[in-house]
Amino acid sequence: MQKIYVICVDRDADITRKVGERGPIVGRSNNLRVAVKLGLADPTESDTNTIFEAVRLHDYYQKLGREVRVATLVGDENVGVVSDELIAKQLDEILREFQPDGVVLVTDGVEDEHVLPIIESRAKVISVSRVIVRQSERLESTYYMILDFLRSIARDPKLSRIVIGLPGVALVLYMLLGPHSWRIIGGVLGVFLILKGFNLEGTVTKSISELRDALISAKLSFFTYVVSAVLAVLGVLIGWRSIAGMTGYQEILPQFTAASIDFFMFSALVALGGKIIDALVEGESTSRYLVLMVFVIAIRLVLDAVALYLMGRIATGMFALSVTLGVVLTVIAFFGIRGSTRR
């Protein structure tokens, strides 16, 4: 004769908190007594329906001629390791006494089904029966999905920085600047999306690490990095001031580029100059940084020529000459960079 154990699980210990009963609750009569007691204490408690379902399955298998028992396992208010450990101890206790051929698990939702691996490690699970009040099934499932998502955020630092960190920065900016902060918030979000979209996180992290190392080792490059940052900010401010009152991207972009491109170029050259001096002091090769300087100058020639041409400030011939020279320098810099990296 097949031996079956119908097991009901109350992982968060609602039964203990509301009626003072502790697990395991073994036997048909004891489970009916606790179910009635729990229903009178809190008619909205879903564990009442779960226990009744466990008793119903007990009677069903008994009519089929199986040797069957029913028990309710009660966890702890501290849901997680504490409650699961308590349920595991109760499970070992009842399985030692009966030793069934299979187990039927009865729960009231996704939360209690977290104990399924515990049961599967100790006995063969025949079936899992979830008992949820029909009107609240979708709501409860959605609740536990959101709860699991929030827990995964708390465990994953990268995910928490995105889901929690960025909204936190936005709220702080809004608190400090009020409605005017939305442009800054949009800018911060834009920078973040650019870093993610173009996979620049590693480059930024490496740059910050180099800056920190330069500060610790008192290298000249730390000073040049600071000057470079100041020049870059100054370039943005001057470019921004030059487009005041303008409308339309066809006017704004060329004017901003023409006004700020020299500051951006000098910013990059100053940073590379600091790296060259540090390399000379340490006896390292400077060829890579020199090639990067050529690349920066080439990019400046091309962008400036395009901006001036769009504004009608240079002739077509001069535009073509500047772009050609920029492209030639870019090609030279490209092969120079490849050659330096191979060495």
Please report where in the chains the tokens 């039964």 appear, as a residue: 15
Which of 135, 150, 173 lies at the terminal end of a domain, its last residue? 135
Are residue 262 and residue 128 in the same domain, yes or no?
no
Contact 259, 242 (CB under 8 A): yes
* Per-residue model confidence (pLDDT) at position 220: 66
* Per-residue model confidence (pLDDT) at position 71: 92
pLDDT in tens, 144-187: 677 777 777 666 676 676 677 777 777 777 777 777 667 677 77
- Ranking 85-99, 206-220, 233-247 by mean pLDDT, the lowest is 206-220
What is the total count of domains within the chain? 2
- Which tokens sit at 307? 């901006």
Q: Given the DSSP bridges, would you call strands 25-26 and 125-130 parallel, antiparallel or unpaired?
A: unpaired
Which of 90, 120, 135 lies at the terminal end of a domain, its last residue? 135
* Per-residue model confidence (pLDDT) at position 32: 92
For residue 22, give the nearest of 122, 93, 127 by alpha carbon: 93
**Is 319 a domain residue?**
yes
- Which tokens sit at 187? 């800018």
CA distance 30 to 279: 81
Are residue 124 and residue 208 in the same domain, yes or no?
no
* Per-residue model confidence (pLDDT) at position 10: 84
Q: Given the DSSP bridges, would you call strands 67-74 and 25-26 parallel, antiparallel or unpaired?
A: antiparallel
* Per-residue model confidence (pLDDT) at position 212: 65
Distance (Å) of CA 301 to CA 61, 297, 304, 320: 85, 6, 5, 11
Are residue 204 and residue 337 in the same domain, yes or no?
yes
Are residue 327 and residue 214 in the same domain, yes or no?
yes
Are residue 14 and residue 122 in the same domain, yes or no?
yes
For 265, the domain range is 200-342
Three-state DSSP class for 65? Answer: coil
Cβ–Cβ contacts within 10 Å for residue 251, how many? 13
**Is 295 a domain residue?**
yes
